[in-house]
Amino acid sequence: MTASISAFSFPLSLACVLATAASVTAFALHWMREHPQGLDRDDDQLYRSLVECCPDVIMQFDNDLLCTYASPAAARMFGRPPGELFGSVMGDQLTPEDRASLAAAAARTREGRDGAEAIFRTTRQTGELLWVEARFSLLTGDAGLIAVLRDVSNRKTAELALRVANAELNKLAGSDALTDLANRRRFDQALNNECRRASRHNTCVSLILIDIDSFKSFNDRHGHQAGDACLIRVATAARAALTRPSDMAARFAGDEFAVMLPGCDSEAAALMAETVRKAVQDFGIPHKGNAGGGVVTVSIGCATVVPTRENLETVGALLIAETDRALYDAKRLGRNGVMTTKTRAAWSPLIGDERRLALVAAYRQAGLFLPSSGLNRIARMATVLLGMPVAFVALLDHNDVEVIGQHGPEEVPDGISHLFCSQVIGGRSPLVVPDAALDPRFRDEGRQHGFGFIAAAPLLAGEDLQHVGALWVADRHARPALDEPKRVLLAHLASLAVEDLEARRRQADERNSRVA
């Protein structure tokens, strides 16, 4: 027996010198692997004592993966007596995911790949979450498996904290400090990634650009602190419109915001843009002097592209450029509105100002910027057929509005007609405002000029239907919105006004040709 103790004195003294849990565990594990049935009684007691001193839990499993031994450290780790583990199936109380990971490590070990590891989650008897690392070894003589279990909860907690910290740093690096939206750098990266994904799946990407109307004057009047608060409110409206994890809202530049919508078609993007526009308007942030009715408003442009392999390198820049052009047109057509690439295409005669202004200039040269009895009659027909006290016909030049036909007891105020021209002239259908006091775009002007209800239809002239002006009807009091037959009637009266203009322009051209 003395010889046996002496034979093992070196490794025992080595374990004491190293004084580490790892060395004790490794030595004990080596002994149990080589002597699954023990040596003689004294040696067995010696090494059992060594195993029982290990801070790690050592467990032995038979070939059916039933526990046949658990060291006393199990009581410290799990809060359960080791005897309760005897006869239990490996991982029977774990989640399916962790049970599969543990079973896979055991299978690799039985295939001869020694040192297979798995990390799993369990709970102490108190309910506290516990992370455990298991390392398996194969016992000699096909006697089963041995596993060393180590509590790695502190390590996993530190790893999780590190991941959270890194995620927070990444977020800060890609976020706007004021609004907490994505910054331009992060937006550009996301747009590039989404365009590549869309090219692989043959889907579209939509973009919304939001610009705060007259924001410089807001800052000048209310100060930069109020300006920052305004930016945060608009950012809130943009963020609230997001419905999917892939959607992104970003601070694009200064008082501009971007909303990227992967897989969203142009119609859905336009609806979302209108939701944002209305939300900002409904905030009711005071903005004296803003044409949107004395509150903060936004102009929005929308565009949609379908990335392909052929255009992948340029499609992101193209999408931004198209959206920016739509935003520009939304601002020049009166602000507080939404313009999409589809509506820009439908209104291309207006957007191509050269053609529109050339036709308006032809009317001016033909002497049609003077009041006309024919247009006065059309205005009178509008008041009678629609039951309105006031109607007028106006042409829109580059910046000026010229009233060339009207009916009613009062003169048409220039301010209201110019504002409405900028709104109506962009569309092909009549614009109806039942109660100007409730519409921020026209609230101040309506109150100033005493109009509560206004409706207007665009004058579409020339072969390519250029927007040259509008026919209006108005009342001092709010009214119900026009029904569809009356809208059609208003549009028809506008077409009669265009016929009158075109007929007189042709007559003027004929006179000029005879003189020439």
Q: Which pLDDT does position 323 carry in this prediction?
A: 93
Regarding whether 332 and 189 lie in a shared domain, the answer is yes
Regarding whether 185 and 325 lie in a shared domain, the answer is yes
Among the candidates 313, 346, 379, a domain finishes at: 346
- How many domains, in total, are found in the chain? 4
CATH number of residue 248's parent domain: 3.30.70.270
Residue 428 burial class via C-beta count within 10 angstroms: exposed 0-12, middle 13-18, buried 19 and up: middle
Going by C-beta distance under 8 Å and a sequence separation of 6 or more, which residues neighbour residue 73?
Answer: 52, 54, 55, 56, 57, 58
Considering 34-38, 90-94, 234-238, 421-425, the range whose residues carry the highest mean pLDDT is 234-238
Among the candidates 298, 321, 346, a domain finishes at: 346
Regarding whether 301 and 196 lie in a shared domain, the answer is yes
Regarding whether 195 and 289 lie in a shared domain, the answer is yes
Flag the least confident range among 173-182, 305-314, 325-334, 375-384.
325-334
Regarding whether 362 and 303 lie in a shared domain, the answer is no
Regarding whether 253 and 309 lie in a shared domain, the answer is yes
Q: What is the mean pLDDT of residues 181-204?
A: 94
**Domain boundaries, position 104:** 57-169
Residue 212: pLDDT above 90? Answer: yes
Confirm if 259 and 239 have CB atoms less than 8 A apart: no
CATH number of residue 154's parent domain: 3.30.450.20
Residue 348: pLDDT above 60? Answer: no
Using alpha carbons, select from 82, 36, 27, 86 the residue that is nearest to residue 54: 27
Residue with the larger pLDDT of the pair 196 and 291? 196
Regarding whether 109 and 153 lie in a shared domain, the answer is yes
Regarding whether 318 and 207 lie in a shared domain, the answer is yes
CB atoms within 10 A of CB 78: 21
CB atoms within 10 A of CB 246: 16
Q: What is the mean pLDDT of residues 341-370?
A: 71
Regarding whether 499 and 380 lie in a shared domain, the answer is yes
* Terminal-residue alpha carbon distance, the chain: 137
Q: Which pLDDT does position 333 carry in this prediction?
A: 66
Confirm if 506 and 494 have CB atoms less than 8 A apart: no
Among the candidates 35, 55, 75, a domain finishes at: 55
What DSSP state is assigned to residue 411?
Answer: P
Regarding whether 50 and 158 lie in a shared domain, the answer is no
DSSP letter string over 75-114? HHHHSS-GGGGTTPBTTTTS-HHHHHHHHHHHHHHHTT-T
Using alpha carbons, select from 296, 272, 268 the residue that is nearest to residue 282: 296
Task: Supply the residues annotated as catalytic.
Answer: 255
Regarding whether 430 and 295 lie in a shared domain, the answer is no
Regarding whether 225 and 116 lie in a shared domain, the answer is no
Could you report the per-residue pLDDT of 156-184, keeping only the tens digit for each?
Answer: 888 888 888 877 776 667 889 899 999 99
DSSP letter string over 318-342? HHHHHHHHHHHHHHHTTSSSEEEHH
Alpha carbon distance 209, 479 (integer Å): 34
Predicted TM-score of the model (pTM): 0.46
